[in-house]
């Protein structure tokens, strides 16, 4: 089979998005539309990818620097044929060129693979729609062979009744594409150079024309406005949810989960409603995620239970931990197994050792906490002096009384106890009780002040 070149058309203005951002950079499942297309393109292992972007859209190549693709600006935009023409200098004659749309984000690898297998010549991706309005129609002869594509605005009454439409996605022998594009004219209702006119040219030259249909219609749905974007987002999330269910993950309500990235789950995982997973997230066997939790770029090991409204970012949680409700693990949090982090506890850039507990109302930042440590309610690590950050070290088996401030840099020794309400500014010796608060005293016969007479 010939090598593959891919052209992604992404120059459209996106007027109906009413946005200053180029249309293809609007996100679906947290990822720019065109990036969905590029990822799918890359999965086909092509020799060349060329993205055609529009004027004022320098943001497009900038946002896509991580791809080894070429970018070419189309200005002015004179139609889909003109757009593909801009990419021709980047394409190889001995290849086949696949044309994709940057605003048709959910096209699947399997469908494009079907097109590659359909045969030599021109391969069109078509779909039958109950309401074909707006699309180019596939005109076939009595034998059912494709003859040409006619755009809605150029179609006769009779042609408008055709329900098979052009999705825009097509596979074309590159050398022929080059010749055909050179012969396009813009003598049509829209005064544009239509890519679709190459179909009649292929037929005239006796070139075979095949058609393939996508497995699901949503694969070829394009985005022109925020309504379509929101609808396609729901379709995408529904697909992800049913994939998770099929893999054995329990979702209390598959309509109320959002995955914006890659979620990998072990066996017997349970996810309650309203959870959002972003970036790369992994949940080990038997992990339970409580309602309305948000987990980004984190791994949660087996048997850990997360109570509702907990937030995680760039964190690593060991096995059999208890987290939340209302816990917040900020970047660089690492919890070892059996750790407990309770309500209104914020952890950042800190390690919490095996079996250690911070169950209520605490801030633990830039800290290393050993094993079996108990951190009392309201404990704060004072890690920041307004200019620099410092570390707090709490060694194994320490007990920190409630409402303690640990002013970093400071070390609490192994097995040390800190009395409640202390402000600790110096290292505390292992195994001993340290407290810094003043002693409680009662004054006998003390009277409350009374209002003076005027």
Exactly one of 109, 311, 338, 360 is catalytic; name it: 360
Q: Does 180 bind ligand UD1 (CB under 6 A)?
A: no
Question: Which of 4, 6, 7, 9 forms a contact with ligand UD1 (CB under 6 A)?
Answer: 9
Q: Does 22 bind ligand UD1 (CB under 6 A)?
A: no
360 is catalytic: yes
Q: Can you tell me the distance from the alpha carbon of 379 to that of 96, in angstroms, rounded to the nearest whole number?
A: 65
| Residue among 77 and 359 whose Cβ is closer to ligand UD1 | 77
| Residue among 232 and 335 whose Cβ is closer to ligand UD1 | 232
Q: Does 83 bind ligand UD1 (CB under 6 A)?
A: yes
First-last CA distance in the chain = 105
Question: Which of 6, 7, 11, 352 forms a contact with ligand UD1 (CB under 6 A)?
Answer: 11
- Measured in residues, the chain has a length of 454
| Residue among 102 and 284 whose Cβ is closer to ligand UD1 | 102
State the minimum distance, in angstroms, from the CB of residue 132 to ligand UD1.
Answer: 9
State the minimum distance, in angstroms, from the CB of residue 74 to ligand UD1.
Answer: 5
Contact pattern for ligand UD1 over residues 100 through 139, marking x by CB under 6 A: -xxx-------------------------------xx---
Range in contact with ligand UD1 (rule: CB under 6 A) among 77-85, 280-288, 293-301, 439-447: 77-85
Question: Which of 12, 353, 376, 413 forms a contact with ligand UD1 (CB under 6 A)?
Answer: 12
CB–CB of 305/287 below 8 Å? yes
Interacting positions 57-76 with ligand UD1 (CB under 6 A) = 74
State the minimum distance, in angstroms, from the CB of residue 131 to ligand UD1.
Answer: 13
Contact pattern for ligand UD1 over residues 34 through 53, marking x by CB under 6 A: ------------------x-
Task: Give contact residues for ligand UD1 (rule: CB under 6 A).
Answer: 9-12, 52, 74, 77-80, 82-83, 101-103, 135-136, 149, 151, 165-168, 194-196, 222
Catalytic residue numbers, as ranges: 360
């Amino acid at each position: 089979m010939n090598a593959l070149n891919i052209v992604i058309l992404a120059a459209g203005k996106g007027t109906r998005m009413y946005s200053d951002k180029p249309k293809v950079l609007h996100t679906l499942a947290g990822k720019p539309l065109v990036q969905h297309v590029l990822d799918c393109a890359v999965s086909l292992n092509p020799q060349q990818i060329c993205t055609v972007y529009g004027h004022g859209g320098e943001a497009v190549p900038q946002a896509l620097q991580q791809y080894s693709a070429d970018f070419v600006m189309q200005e002015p935009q004179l139609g889909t044929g003109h757009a593909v023409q801009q990419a021709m200098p980047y394409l190889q004659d001995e290849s086949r060129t696949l044309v994709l749309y940057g605003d048709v984000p959910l096209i699947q690898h399997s469908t494009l693979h079907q097109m590659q297998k359909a045969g030599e010549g021109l391969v069109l991706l078509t779909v039958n729609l109950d309401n074909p309005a707006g699309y180019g129609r596939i005109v076939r002869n009595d034998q059912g062979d494709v003859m040409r594509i006619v755009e809605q605005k150029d179609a006769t009454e009779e042609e408008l009744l055709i329900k098979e439409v052009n999705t825009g996605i097509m596979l074309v022998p590159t050398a022929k594409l080059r010749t055909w594009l050179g012969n396009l004219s813009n003598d049509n209702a829209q005064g544009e150079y239509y890519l679709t006119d190459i179909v009649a040219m292929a037929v005239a030259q006796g070139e075979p024309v095949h058609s393939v249909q996508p497995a699901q219609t949503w694969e070829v749905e394009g985005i022109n406005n925020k309504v379509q974007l929101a609808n396609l987002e729901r379709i995408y999330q529904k697909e992800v949810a049913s994939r998770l269910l099929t893999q054995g993950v329990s979702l209390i309500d598959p309509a109320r989960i959002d995955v914006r990235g890659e979620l990998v789950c072990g066996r017997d995982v349970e996810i309650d409603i309203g959870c959002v997973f972003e970036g790369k997230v992994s949940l080990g066997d038997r992990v339970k995620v409580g309602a309305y939790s948000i987990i980004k770029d984190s791994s949660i090991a087996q048997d850990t239970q997360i109570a509702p409204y907990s937030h995680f970012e760039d964190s690593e949680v060991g096995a059999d931990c208890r987290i939340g409700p209302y816990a917040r693990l900020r970047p660089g949090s690492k919890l070892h197994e059996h750790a407990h982090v309770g309500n209104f506890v914020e952890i950042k850039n800190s390690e919490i050792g095996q079996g250690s507990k911070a169950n209520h109302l605490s801030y633990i930042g830039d800290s290393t906490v050993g094993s079996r440590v108990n951190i009392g309610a309201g404990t704060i690590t004072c890690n920041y002096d307004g200019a620099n950050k410092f570390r707090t070290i709490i060694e194994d088996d320490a007990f920190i009384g409630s409402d303690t401030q640990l002013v970093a840099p400071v070390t609490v020794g192994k097995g040390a106890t800190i009395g409640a309400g202390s402000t600790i500014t110096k290292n505390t010796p292992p195994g001993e009780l340290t407290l810094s608060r003043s002693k409680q005293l009662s004054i006998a016969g003390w009277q409350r002040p009374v209002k003076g007479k005027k």
